[in-house]
Amino acid sequence: MTPFGCAFKTALGWAAVRFNEHHEITGFLLPSSTQKSHDFLAWTVHRSFPQLEKAVVGYFAGKKIDFRKFSVSLTDASPFFQNVYGALRTVKYGETLTYKELAKKAGNPSAVRAVGGAMAHNPIPLIIPCHRVIQSDGSLGGFSADGGADLKKMLIDLEHPPIPPTAKKQAG
């Protein structure tokens, strides 16, 4: 089975997605200004995925997007990783949780380090929102995508825009 894929430009740079014939996402590259998106697609059949492209472009333009409507295929992931990714997909836009909370949500409260490993090997970041997982002390923790913790902070900040001063006055 040959995977399909496409690259597209967002406000942050080029992103890329791989998917199967059922339009289940099998891989995703967060936006980058490097050639990686093209390298990622080198062995795919180029076909567009307009619904996902529109959603990702909108997300990076500041729109609240729910990626849970897109199907994913995690056949290469271990059953444990699949379980963790499934639990993480229930975390909504703008929410965060700790690695410990995710381990509990995935049904294995003592597997905090293994959950960290699942986050580091997430093949579909953003769609499986590993950027929403933080450390128990409130610090960000690691992020394996290009841009590291700076990109993770940017994604969290994107989902938590600052309250405009006029809204603060009206609320107070």
Phi and psi at residue 120, in whole multiples of 5°?
-65, -25
Phi-psi region of 78 (alpha: psi -120 to 50; beta: other; left: phi over 0): beta
Q: Which residue has the tokens 């409260």?
A: 109
The residues annotated as belonging to the active site are 130
H or E element in which residue 153 lies: helix 148-159
H or E element in which residue 100 lies: helix 99-105
